[in-house]
Chains A and B, each alone.
Chain A
């Protein structure tokens, strides 16, 4: 274990400045500086506000992570950074910082995919990802079913949302209910006091002719809004907890149903759930139940590792080093729409070939 790669990861794709330090699959530090409070009054993340905050927080957060991990920068085997997808200006702050650290320290740079990082973080809690693993990625910007054979090189999308992401639906429903931003955590909390069967909200794309692994949450969000407005118009009290619980039930029902189905159809017996919505308590409980029944092993990271953080980026970076994947060049770009299939952004000229880490013992 001691000779597994030691990697620092930097994440700035949205409103969290995250810096993590990982040795192999062991989490050593997870430092996060969030600008979420500055965005709350705008009801959503303001890109320029996020970018300004990243610049201010970068060096202190890196230092905090190194201190937490009890390592010095010179000990690192590589620097990993989210190259995309995400907010362009925000990503650029992290990418520029990572390049400077890599250059100054003489370490390889790994520009990696934010979504693959959301999956790879699972290694910090439950050990190396089984191959293959099914991943249900549910966040503020994405809701996808991804089949991965090798998290450093092979992520195949089976389906994704055709409109709103699951986290977006939570945020919008929270706004309808006047619960503030971000909506996920507060809807989760309110739902605990409510009856999930109180209102039967629609389950999008679950008809026999619907695409099996795609999702749709926009109709659900509208149905919730309608239901709430009708109550208000009739001068009745809105049973906020019941609405939250029933909405949450509809989302988690569809997500877990399709995830289990995808596992079965592809003969995959490990399901990983990642992204901010994986912090949802009902999703975690329902997934556990349904996986148990289907004989599928479930891996869900602790809530703090589901939302954006630097440790997940470091986790993927460490796996890249271990498997001897190509590093990125110093002219690496931030790519706000990096496709989920591109796990990393290697040097197009292949000049900085990393050697397989010595702990790997052949293979890969």
Chain B
């Protein structure tokens, strides 16, 4: 098995290769404005670093968010097109699950939350139990509205750190890494489990205002 995973749902543009046993290459850059420019070169880099060819890939795993839409779509459409052209399956992974796995690898114990920045003073978040299983979410909320529910528990991720005044358990890791996303997907697949369909978790409707009728040009 050779699984390529990547995620563009947050400021991290991250790609990794997993051989079924371990992560064999990884590349992560933090740049919220250049997902489109950075992703394909990152994918190319991890393949080169691992000495692997595109044709060796057996599956793709892509972060499906939640995340700000423009960046999120870069990962999803890239996965869809790569999967189509290479004729390999594309699996979706909740980006927050990747972040949660990174948190446990860094020693976070007990129930905790993974929180990313949703902009507009909101966060995307999900809650995990002491075994790292997601027990609620993903949701989008204002930090103040979830502060009580998270009180006392660690809250990992850039969304928590950004609102550390309200989310008092805020701590690292700050960013999701494709290595953890890949490991999560590889374990699920090996166990015969299900992953998500590769479709975006927007969690919000598109902003669209119906323009106020026709505006007269003659003075009233």
A-to-B contact residues, CB < 8 Å: 41-44, 46, 48-49, 51-52, 54-55, 58-59, 62-63, 73, 88-89, 92-93, 95-101, 103-106, 175-176, 178, 222, 225-226, 229-230, 233, 330-334
Kindly list chain B residues whose C-beta atoms are within 8 Å of the C-beta of A52.
69, 73, 200, 202, 206
Q: Pick the contact of A104 from B38, B54, B77, B202 — CB < 8 Å?
A: B54
**B77 to A55, Cβ gap below 8 A?**
yes
Whether a CB of chain A sits under 8 angstroms from the CB of B39 is yes
| Bound-complex Cα distance A320 to B86 (A) | 26
B85: Cβ under 8 A from any A Cβ: yes
Instruction: State whether B211 touches A42 (Cβ < 8 A).
Output: yes
Pick from B78, B84, B86: contact of A99, CB below 8 A: B78
- Determine the main DSSP class of A at the interface with B: helix
A178 to B37, CA, bound (A): 43
New contact pairs (10) apart from A54-B77, A73-B85, CB-CB < 8 Å: A48-B69, A55-B77, A89-B70, A95-B36, A96-B36, A96-B39, A96-B74, A175-B214, A330-B40, A331-B41
B208 touches A49 (CB 8 A): yes
The 30 sampled A-B contact pairs (Cβ below 8 Å) are A42-B210, A43-B211, A46-B206, A48-B69, A48-B206, A48-B208, A51-B73, A52-B200, A58-B77, A59-B80, A62-B81, A62-B84, A89-B69, A92-B36, A92-B73, A93-B77, A96-B77, A97-B80, A99-B40, A100-B40, A100-B78, A100-B80, A100-B82, A103-B40, A103-B54, A104-B86, A176-B214, A226-B217, A331-B41, A333-B37
Partner of B84, one of A42, A51, A63, A176: A63
CA distance A59 to B79 in the complex (A): 10
Given A43-B210, A330-B40, A331-B41: A229 and B217 within 8 A (CB)? yes
CB distance from A18 to the nearest CB of B (A): 15
A43 CA / B74 CA spacing, docked (Å): 28
**Cα–Cα, bound, A85→B155 (Å):** 41
Asked if A59 meets B84 with Cβ closer than 8 Å, knowing A93-B77, A99-B78, A333-B36, the reply is yes
Determine how close the nearest CB of chain A comes to the CB of B203; give it in whole angstroms.
Answer: 13
Asked if B44 contacts A330 (CB within 8 A), the reply is yes
* Interface set of B (CB-CB < 8 Å, partner A): 36-41, 43-44, 54, 69-70, 73-74, 76-82, 84-86, 200, 202, 206-211, 214, 216-218
Asked, given contacts A46-B208, A92-B36, A103-B40, whether A55 binds B73 with beta carbons under 8 Å apart, the answer is yes
Cβ contact within 8 Å between B210 and A93: no
- Specify which chain B residues have a CB less than 8 angstroms from the CB of A330 in the assembled complex: 40-41, 44
Given A92-B36, A104-B54, A55:B76 Cβ within 8 A? yes
Contact of A44 among B54, B76, B85, B211 (CB under 8 A): B211
Q: Is the CB of B217 within 8 A of A225?
A: yes
Q: How far is the CA of A88 from the CA of B69 in the complex (A)?
A: 12
Contacts of B84 in A (CB 8 A): 59, 62-63, 101
Task: Please indicate the chain A residues that have their CB under 8 angstroms from the CB of B39 in the complex.
Answer: 96
Is the beta-carbon distance between A222 and B81 smaller than 8 angstroms?
A: no
Bound-state Cα–Cα, A226 to B84, Å: 54
Give Cα distance in the complex from A62 to B202, angstroms: 24
Assuming the A-B contacts A226-B218, A229-B218, are A58 and B80 also in contact, with contact meaning beta carbons closer than 8 angstroms in the complex?
yes
Chain B residues near A63: list those with CB within 8 A: 84
Residue of A nearest to B36 (CB): A92
B96 to chain A minimum Cβ distance, whole angstroms, is: 20
Closest chain-B Cβ to A327's Cβ sits at a distance in Å of 14
In the complex, residue of chain B having the shortest beta-carbon distance to the beta carbon of A74: B85
B181 to chain A, nearest CB (A): 18
- Given contacts A48-B208, A51-B73, A55-B73, whether A100 and B81 have CB atoms under 8 Å apart is yes
Which residues of chain A are within 8 angstroms of B206 by Cβ–Cβ distance? 46, 48-49, 52
Contacts of A41 in B (CB 8 A): 210
Partner of B77, one of A88, A97, A331: A97
Give the distance in Å from the alpha carbon of A136 to the alpha carbon of B44 in the complex: 41
Which residues of the partner chain A approach B69 to less than 8 Å between Cβ atoms?
48, 51-52, 89
Give the interface centre of A49, A62, A100, A225 by most chain B CB atoms within 10 Å.
A100
Q: Is the CB of B209 within 8 A of A42?
A: yes
Judge whether B214 and A331 touch: CB under 8 Å: no
Q: Which residues of A contact B202 (CB under 8 A)?
A: 52
